[in-house]
């Protein structure tokens, strides 16, 4: 899947996840009209990430959020009871969304090499579209409440486990060399993170997300195997 194709697909899927967020939190969200809720949840989450990445989540106030979204304080409190509730709902939605996309990306692939290519591209494309959230989750991890910090660790381990499992399956069938799969997955994860943490560096060099994905896959291939990823996307 190209990045352009991915962008079309993700726009539809994100709407479904906002509907799920509404369904899961009907006891908190007091606005009745679904269409209005979906629009405002996207607006509130987007503003939360923007402000948090500018000044830090702890420093962001509900009044800041009111000004950024154009919603009154009363309107904001009809969606959330507190700032921490916004954080919890945002993190829950984005983590579930990321997990679902990564699992769907590899679902139809049988060969470990193709599965690895699909997983790497899916992760990079997601972090390109959702860069504000990926950056926020990484930078704010140490400041999160204990429950959120635990969920963040679980999410990190899920991603590494996904790559480890793919590498191990390739090693077992002889498609990949006998490498340390857990360490390789850990290094791969760090390189995926570099894309959204140092986005400006790559933008200044004219590196697109598709080019970075191809480079990363070729570099991993040079370590774990011998075939090319040139036409595996």
Domains of the chain from N-terminus onward: 3-224 (1.10.357.10)
Higher pLDDT: 19 or 119? It is 119
| Averaged pLDDT, 156-161 | 93
Distance separating alpha carbons of residues 206 and 91, to the nearest angstrom: 31
pLDDT for residue 227: 53
pLDDT digits (tens, 9 = 90+) for 20-49: 888 889 999 999 999 999 999 999 999 999
Query: For residue 145, how far is the Cα from the chain centroid?
Result: 20
Q: Is 208 left (phi over 0), alpha (psi -120 to 50) or beta?
A: beta
Distance separating alpha carbons of residues 56 and 51, to the nearest angstrom: 7
pLDDT for residue 136: 93
Query: For residue 204, how far is the Cα from the chain centroid?
Result: 23
Whether pLDDT at 201 is above 80 = yes
pTM, rounded to two decimals: 0.87
> Mind spelling out the 3-state secondary structure of 203-224?
HHCCCCHHHHHHHHHHHHHHHH
């Amino acid at each position: 899947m190209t990045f352009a194709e991915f962008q079309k697909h993700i726009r539809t899927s994100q709407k479904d996840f906002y509907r799920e967020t509404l369904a899961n939190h009907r006891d908190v969200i007091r606005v009745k009209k679904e269409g209005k809720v979906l629009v405002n949840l996207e607006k509130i989450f987007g503003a939360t990430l923007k402000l948090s990445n500018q000044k830090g989540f702890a420093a962001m106030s509900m009044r800041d959020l009111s000004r950024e979204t154009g919603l009154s304080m009363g309107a904001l409190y009809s969606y959330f009871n507190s700032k921490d509730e916004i954080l919890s709902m945002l993190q829950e939605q984005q983590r579930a969304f990321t997990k679902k996309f990564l699992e769907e990306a590899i679902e139809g692939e049988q060969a470990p090499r193709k599965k690895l290519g699909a997983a790497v591209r899916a992760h990079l494309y997601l972090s390109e579209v959702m860069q504000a959230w990926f950056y926020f989750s990484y930078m704010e991890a140490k400041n999160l409440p204990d429950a959120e910090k635990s969920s963040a660790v679980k999410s990190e381990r899920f991603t590494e486990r996904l790559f480890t499992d793919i590498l191990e399956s390739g090693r077992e069938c002889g498609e990949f060399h006998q490498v340390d799969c857990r360490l390789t997955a850990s290094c791969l994860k760090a390189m995926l993170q570099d894309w959204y943490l140092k986005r400006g560096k790559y933008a200044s060099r004219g590196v697109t997300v598709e080019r970075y994905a191809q480079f990363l896959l070729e570099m991993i291939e040079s370590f774990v195997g011998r075939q090319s990823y040139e036409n595996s996307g």
